[in-house]
Amino acid sequence: MAKREHWGGRVAFILAAIGSAVGLGNLWGFPYKLYAGGGGAFLVPYFLAMFVVGIPLLLMEYAVGHWAQNSPPGAFGRILGKYRFVGWWLVSVAFVIITYYTIILGYSVVMLWDSLYALFVPDRVMPWQGGVDQAKGAFFGTMLNYESTYALSAPRWPVLIGMLASWGMIYFSLFRGVKWVSKVVLFTVPLPWIMLLVLTLRGLTLEGATTGLHYYLEPDWSKLGDADTWRLAFSQVFFSLSLGFAVMMCYASFLHRKSDINNNAAIVALGDLATSFIAGLAVFSVIGNMAMLSNKPVQEAVTSGPGLAFAVYPYALSQLPAGAAAFSAIFFMALLTLGIDSAFSIVEAVQSSINDNAVGSWRRSWTLPSICGIGAIIGVLYTCGKGGLNWLGLADDLVNGPFGILSVALAETLVVGWAWGGGFAKRMREHANERSDWSLGSWWDVLIRWVVPVFLLMLIAWSVSDFIAGKPGKDADTFAKQDWIFHLIGHIIFAMIPLFFVLFIKGKTEHGDEELGVRKTGTLKWILALPLAATSAGIIWGLTRMAIQYSATAASESTERVATVFEKADLGLASFVVLTIAFLSIFGGLIWCFARAIAAAGSSDVELMEE
Pick left, alpha or beta for residue 130 (phi over 0 → left; psi -120 to 50 → alpha; otherwise beta).
left
Region of poorest pLDDT, from 148-152, 209-213, 551-555, 582-586 = 551-555
Burial class (CB in 10 A: 0-12, 13-18, 19+), 296: middle
DSSP for 226-267 reads: -HHHHHHHHHHHHHHTTTTSSHHHHHHHTS-TT---HHHHHH
Would the pLDDT of 84 be above 90? yes
d(CA 565, CA 533): 48
Burial class (CB in 10 A: 0-12, 13-18, 19+), 121: exposed
529's CB contacts (< 8 A; 6+ apart) are none
CA distances for 17 relative to 99, 234, 359, 388, angstroms: 21, 20, 29, 31
- Strands annotated E in 87-212: 152-155
Answer yes or no: are the C-beta atoms of 80 and 414 closer than 8 Å.
no
Q: b vs e for 57-72, b when ≥16 Cβ sit within 10 Å of the residue's Cβ?
A: bbbbbbbbbbbbbbbb
pLDDT of res. 610: 43
Pick the more confident residue, 306 or 496: 496
Answer yes or no: are the C-beta atoms of 379 and 103 closer than 8 Å.
yes
Q: How confident is the model at residue 370 (pLDDT cuts 50, 70, 90)?
A: very high
d(CA 91, CA 408): 10
Q: How confident is the model at residue 149 (pLDDT cuts 50, 70, 90)?
A: very high
Instruction: Calculate what percentage of the chain has a pLDDT beyond 90.
Output: 54
d(CA 80, CA 495): 23
pLDDT of res. 514: 45
Would the pLDDT of 474 be above 70? yes
d(CA 247, CA 20): 8
Answer yes or no: are the C-beta atoms of 313 and 287 closer than 8 Å.
yes
13's CB contacts (< 8 A; 6+ apart) are 7, 182, 251, 254, 255, 259, 264
d(CA 223, CA 233): 12
Would the pLDDT of 493 be above 80? yes
The whole-number average pLDDT for the span 223-249 is 85
Residue in 99, 72, 98 with CA at minimum distance from that of residue 85: 72
The whole-number average pLDDT for the span 324-337 is 92
C-alpha 144: how far from chain center: 24
169's CB contacts (< 8 A; 6+ apart) are 105, 340, 344
Would the pLDDT of 70 be above 90? yes
Pick left, alpha or beta for residue 305 (phi over 0 → left; psi -120 to 50 → alpha; otherwise beta).
left
d(CA 471, CA 594): 49
Burial class (CB in 10 A: 0-12, 13-18, 19+), 366: exposed
d(CA 15, CA 116): 28
* Dihedrals phi, psi of 48, to nearest 5 degrees: -60, -45
Would the pLDDT of 506 be above 50? yes
d(CA 463, CA 410): 14
Would the pLDDT of 421 be above 60? yes
Would the pLDDT of 323 be above 90? no
10's CB contacts (< 8 A; 6+ apart) are 259, 260, 264, 597, 607, 608, 611
Query: What CATH number labels 10-395?
Result: 1.20.1740
Residue in 497, 454, 610, 600 with CA at minimum distance from that of residue 9: 610
The whole-number average pLDDT for the span 554-582 is 75
Answer yes or no: are the C-beta atoms of 212 and 291 closer than 8 Å.
yes
Q: What is the pLDDT of residues 253-310, one digit of tens each?
A: 999 888 999 999 999 999 999 998 998 899 889 888 888 888 888 877 777 678 888 8
Q: How confident is the model at residue 510 (pLDDT cuts 50, 70, 90)?
A: very low
What H or E segment, with its residue span, contains residue 385? strand 384-386
What is the chain's percent helix, strand, coil content, to nearest 5? 75, 0, 25
* Dihedrals phi, psi of 8, to nearest 5 degrees: -70, -10
Q: How confident is the model at residue 361 (pLDDT cuts 50, 70, 90)?
A: low
pLDDT of res. 507: 53
Average per-residue pLDDT for the chain:
87
d(CA 343, CA 330): 20
What H or E segment, with its residue span, contains residue 384? strand 384-386
C-alpha 439: how far from chain center: 27
Would the pLDDT of 211 be above 80? yes
Answer yes or no: are the C-beta atoms of 345 and 16 closer than 8 Å.
yes
Residue 295 DSSP code: T
d(CA 288, CA 215): 9
